[in-house]
Structure formats: C-alpha cells, structure tokens
Amino acid sequence: MDYKLKIGLLPIRRYIKEPPKRIGIFQSDYAVENKEKSVKYVKENYSDDITEFVDINWLNEEGVLCLDSDCDRVAEYFKKEKIDALFIINCNFGQENCAGLVAKKLHVPTLLWGPRDRNFTNDIRYTDTQCGLFAMSKQLKRNNVKFSYIENCDVDSPVFDKGLKQFFGVATMVKNFKDMKILQVGTRVKPFKSIMYNELELCEKFGIDIVAFNLAEAVGDLQIIYDTKKEELNKDLIDLKNTFDCGNLDDDYLIKMLCIVHYYEKLAKDNNCNIISSECWTGITLGWGANPCLAMCLLADKDVYVTCEWDIHMTITNVLLLSATRGKEKPIQGEFTCRHPSNDNAELLWHCGPFPLKYKAKGEKPWLYNTKPSFRMEDGEYTIARFQAEKGKYYLLCDKFNTCKGPKTFGTYMWAEFDNLSKVERKLVKGPYIHHMSEIPGDYVEYFKEFTEYFDEIEYDSFN
C-alpha cells in the first residue's frame, strides 16, 4: 500500500476578451489574488512527507488556466508528473469547460472548491466564485468525472480543513483499492461458508490481485526459519515474555509461534505487499504445530497486516480503513460475538488474538489464553466497516460507535455501544453482511461514503 499523494493544483479563472484588460466583475486581478492566497495556504499547511503538490505556475504569468487551448498542455503535464489526484480551485466564476476538459483526461479523484466571495468594493462584485462552482460541477458530471466537493468557504476555515483532509483520505482509498494485491495463505477453513467470495469477479470488476500460497510451502519456510534464526528467535522470546503473561506455555512452543511472525514478515517483503489473508486455526496449527494468532497481533505494530480466518472481504475492508487514515491508524478485526448481559445496545466485538497491541487498554497486562493474545481495547470512538458481495452486487457498510464497560473475557475484545443494537443485529442477519467486521479508531464514516461515489459498482450502506 502507498499512502503518498501527489496532487495537481489547478486554479481556473473566467476569460473574457476585453483588451487591454477587463475591469469590474471577473477582473483577472482579483482571481489571481484568490489563486495566490489559496495555493500558498495549501502548500504551507498541508505539505508533508506523504503529501506533495504540483502547480501550473509554468503555464503563464498568472499561473492560472483560463483558455480551452491550454487544457491539453495542462493535462499532459499532470500526467507526466503522475499525479494521484486533482484539486480544481475556482478563482472567480471560472471557465467550466476548462475544468471538464482537464479532469476527463486524467481519470483521478478530483476535488472542486472555490474561496468564498468577500470583495464587494464600490458596489461591484468581482468574483462570483460560488456561481461558477455550480457551472463547473455540471461540466464535470457531463464529462463523467467522479469528483468530491468542499462547500464555498474561506481557505483558512474549519470546513475547508475538514474537507481537504477527507479528500486526501478518499484519494488514498481509491489509489490503494485500484492497485490492491492480497497474499492468500492456505484455503478457506471447511466450516466457514459465510466468508466465500468471487475471486474472478473481484479481478474483473476492480483489478484486485489475489496471490495464493499453499500450506505445504508455508510449513517448509517455517522450518527453515526455526532452523536458521535461533539467536534472533531467542531475543524475540525475551521480548515476548516481557510483554505478555505467557502462562505455562513452554519456550519451544512460543518460539514456533514467533517463527510465524518471521514467515509473514518475509512473505510480505518478498512480494512487496503488506496485507495478507490467512487460514489460521486448522491448517497451520496441524502442519506446524503452533497457532498464528500471536503473529497477527505482533505484526500489526510492524505495519504488516494479516487478516484471520481467510476472510478476503474483511482484508479489503482493512485496506480501505488503513488508506482512509493514510497509515496513521491500524485496523482491528472485531466480530459481532454476543450481546452485553445488561446493556441492550452493547455488543462484544471480539476475535481470538489478532488486535494490534498498540490499542491495548492502558494499565492492563496482556496474556496468552490457550496460546491466543488476550487484552481489552482502549476506550474511545471507532469506525466500523465491512465490504461485502451478494448476488453479483457489492456493498460497503460503514458506521461508528463508542466503547462502553462490560465483562472481562479472553481473547482481544471491546464492548461497543450502538444507537439501536436490535436494528444492527437484524441487518446482519438479513444480509448481505456477515458478523465479521473491521474497526479503526476515529470517525471516517464520511470518507467511506465519499469513496463509494467513485465506484458505480459499490453501494454505500449504514446501520441507520
């Protein structure tokens, strides 16, 4: 996955031929003033190690697009720069045809925005930016350009900040979704019919590449690690015992579990892919003699993500969650397990060990219960999501919840409180979703809603 974005900045103004220079409404000076302020603010406040901006200052003295005849040059330049997304900045009423001509050639997530009209000097309006946004939006739609939008506001307003950061997340989601590669270890466990998926359709519809590795290969590689990395594994064992209460598990079994950490890490590195979907509680355990749940927990903190129970749709969901946060947070694989004994709207989101250790509740000592990592998650607000297919249609469910108090249990878990759990339960039963869900700290619901606007094949859904 790649969280870096290169974003093309495309300021546009209205062109009306009135030599030597137009005065009054749509006067270019005011449009250029808007452009200078907006581009400078964006570059100074949003450039970082994963966010880069490319402008068109080379185009003319103003660094602003206003002629249809320049559109091809601008589009080719952005293609040459390999931008991941386009940000159209409407500097006055704008030139809607220019917006459509450039955007339709690039086929990248596109953001439309213009600064709020503030200048009413001498009883004259000089920009009419908002009016131009309405015209531009229609031209984008007519050119079949999928686009995001920030409402007409000042560049330094909270609305702009929220909208731009959301667009960064959505553009990263689109980028990683289109280039997704999943490493699949083993086959679906026998009783888990609920996690079936259509590999051919995922490839044809979305270009998702699933690379399979059989368990015989895995066991052979694990044996090599066990035989050749004794010193490194012994150091890992010391760290493990300092972190977890390992109970009465003997050192050899713990080392065999740690071998799985090295195996997945090597698999990810060798295949240039850090998302893995693995069979986890029959084949590996029988073939290698140790459970892989600990590896899934520890690897998340190394930015290698392994989805348990060979759930490809959950793996895809995890990629989207990671991309929405641009790698700043880590996905959690908490499934709907049982209702709270006294809170009618609370549910146990649980799995047998794969949660990132990063989110362990403060003050708790994690332990291994029947070889599985066990700890409660830290409290807070979480986004919950599920990518799912049914009868050839694809859906993306997304909502949010806050944690609440509940009984202690084994495995990795949290108690989630919803507005109406009975409604949530019924939705999961009726489908198309299954009880496997993915979560991540923070509220990214609007990101997921906006992401689906870029794919006609995916329908957005929520619990409400």
pLDDT in tens, 341-366: 999 999 999 999 999 999 999 999 99
**342 and 357 share one domain:** yes
Total number of domains constituting the chain: 2
Over the stretch 14-28, which tens digit does the pLDDT of each residue have? 988 877 777 778 889
* Domain boundary residue, one of 134, 160, 178: 178
* Domain boundary residue, one of 127, 153, 178: 178
Over the stretch 283-327, which tens digit does the pLDDT of each residue have? 899 999 999 999 999 999 999 999 988 899 999 999 999 999 999
pTM of the model: 0.96
**174 and 185 share one domain:** no
**% the chain with pLDDT above 70:** 100
pLDDT at residue 123, rounded to an integer: 85
* Domain boundary residue, one of 151, 178, 205: 178
**172 and 186 share one domain:** no
**132 and 268 share one domain:** no
Confidence of residue 378 (pLDDT cuts 50, 70, 90): very high
**147 and 240 share one domain:** no
Q: If you average pLDDT over every residue of the chain, what do you get?
A: 96
**34 and 105 share one domain:** yes
**315 and 427 share one domain:** yes
**106 and 215 share one domain:** no
Q: Is the pLDDT of residue 149 over 80?
A: yes
**% the chain with pLDDT above 90:** 90
Q: Is the pLDDT of residue 166 over 80?
A: yes
Q: Is the pLDDT of residue 205 over 80?
A: yes
3-state secondary structure the chain: CCCCEEEEEEEECCCCCCCCCCCCCCCHHHHHHHHHHHHHHHHHHHCECCEEEECCCCCCCCCCECCHHHHHHHHHHHHHCCCCEEEEEECCCCCHHHHHHHHHHHCCCEEEECECCCCCHHHCCCCCHHHHHHHHHHHHHHCCCCEEECCCECCCCHHHHHHHHHHHHHHHHHHHHHCCEEEEECCCCCCCHHHCCCHHHHHHHHCCEEEEECHHHHHHHHHHHHHHCHHHHHHHHHHHHHHCECCCCCHHHHHHHHHHHHHHHHHHHHCCCCEEEECCCCHHHHHHCCCCHHHHHHHHCCCCEEEHHHCHHHHHHHHHHHHHCCCCCCCECCEEEEECCCCCCEEEEEECCCCCHHHECCCCCCEEECCEEEEEECCCEEEEEEEEEECCEEEEEEEEEEECCCCCCCCEEEEEECCCHHHHHHHHHHCCCCCCCEEEECCCHHHHHHHHCCCCCEEEECCC
Instruction: Output the domain CATH number for residue 78.
Output: 3.40.50.10940
**132 and 255 share one domain:** no
The domain containing residue 168 runs over which residues? 5-178
**222 and 111 share one domain:** no
**153 and 240 share one domain:** no
